[in-house]
Amino acid sequence: MALLSIVLPAYNEEQNIAITADRLSSLLEQNNIDYELVFISDGSSDNTFEQIVNAAAENPRIKGAEFSRNFGKEAGIFAGLELTEGDAVIVMDCDLQHPPEVIPEMWRLWRNGAEVVEGIKIGRGREGLLHKAFAGLFYKIMSAFIKMDMNSSSDYKLLDRKVVRVLLELPERNTFFRALTFWAGFRTESVYYEVQERQYGRSKWSFVSLMKYAITNATSFSTLPLQAVTIMGFVSIFFSFILAVQTLVKYCSGTAVEGFTTVILLILIIGGFLMISLGIIGHYIGRIYEEVKGRPRYIISRTTENVPEAVKGVWKKRQGTNIERKT
Ligand code: UDP
Ligand code: MG
């Protein structure tokens, strides 16, 4: 019988773990799906990991790990994927905003041969106006950059084991899970869902963190901003050519170009272009620097007891430390 793994990154979600685990296990049992739940606590400062341990003690199909600090949702997803053993893997939020009811449909599509099942949002839930506008703009730009329709896509997806293997073998540290499945290709189907209200706690995103997320992801998926530097260069050369002609004509006809205004404007414009260009290039160099250091994506500090030795071995090798605490 095929096994379905569900990866649930959790950051300070102590109130949601037990509820989510119950909802998912009863739903999957009703539908006769063989499953395992993988919770990754992303360096939570509350009792999220203790809740995961409790859930695992009640239900051996539940396992999990804790990060040594907050590494972000992307890292949580990848650590979770590493831990899964299923033939198909679903990634979803553990705050029940991704409705579990579509899981049987995803599963059915997978059984019928889909290798990736994308969860597509209809409506964006009750997000703030600013958040909504910003998210909309972000996805428009992203879609244009990576030439794939990213609008309404989410981290709620089902992946075949093949696809999981491909993603886990990617060498980069800075990942963007949502777009990587588009990039990877494979036979893709979609399911549609309405974003639900958050059960407990609040969203972990601030405007600043969203902004950072947008810039990091846009640049990790595209070198278009670098080409923009070249375009800016051409634009300024074009204008300087016109100005040069004008200056020469005026010089020859005996009238001088209007003095300081032109000079000041030119310095300001070119200075602005140069600084933006340096900033863009600097940003890419920063990203290269981060990748070159080759640090692990995340550090595991604790795991539940039922985590397989093989996975522990992979983690140990990658982070160079023993993940088991000797007491
Ligand atoms: N999350 C995480 N690490 C973080 C932030 C969030 O693992 O640094 C998890 C969080 O626990 C939740 C999911 O990512 O399961 C989505 O986060 P959240 O609900 O805060 O985002 P939103 O639904 O508002 O986009
Ligand atoms: Mg949420």
Which range among 5-9, 29-33, 78-82, 135-139 shows the weakest confidence by mean pLDDT? 135-139
Instruction: Say yes or no to pLDDT of 125 above 60.
Output: no
229's enclosing H/E stretch is helix 224-252
Q: Whose CA is nearest to atom 3 of ligand 1?
A: 73
Torsion of CA 64, 203, 19, 11, to 10 degrees: 20
160 within 8 A of 116, measured Cβ to Cβ? yes
15 Cβ inside 6 Å of ligand 1: no
Q: Which atom of ligand 1 is nearest to the CA of 11?
A: 11
Distance, CA of 49 to CA of 197 (rounded, Å): 23
Closest to 88 (Cα-Cα) out of 121, 120, 117, 59: 117
94 Cβ inside 6 Å of ligand 1: yes
Which range among 90-94, 155-159, 200-204 shows the weakest confidence by mean pLDDT? 200-204
Instruction: Give the distance, in angstroms, between the CA of residue 316 and the centroid of all CA atoms in the same chain.
Output: 24
C-alpha 10 – ligand 2 centre gap (Å)? 10
Which range among 44-53, 82-91, 104-113, 252-261 shows the weakest confidence by mean pLDDT? 252-261
66 Cβ inside 6 Å of ligand 1: no
pLDDT tens sequence across 72-118:
889 999 999 998 989 999 999 988 889 999 999 999 999 999 999 98
10 Cβ inside 6 Å of ligand 1: yes
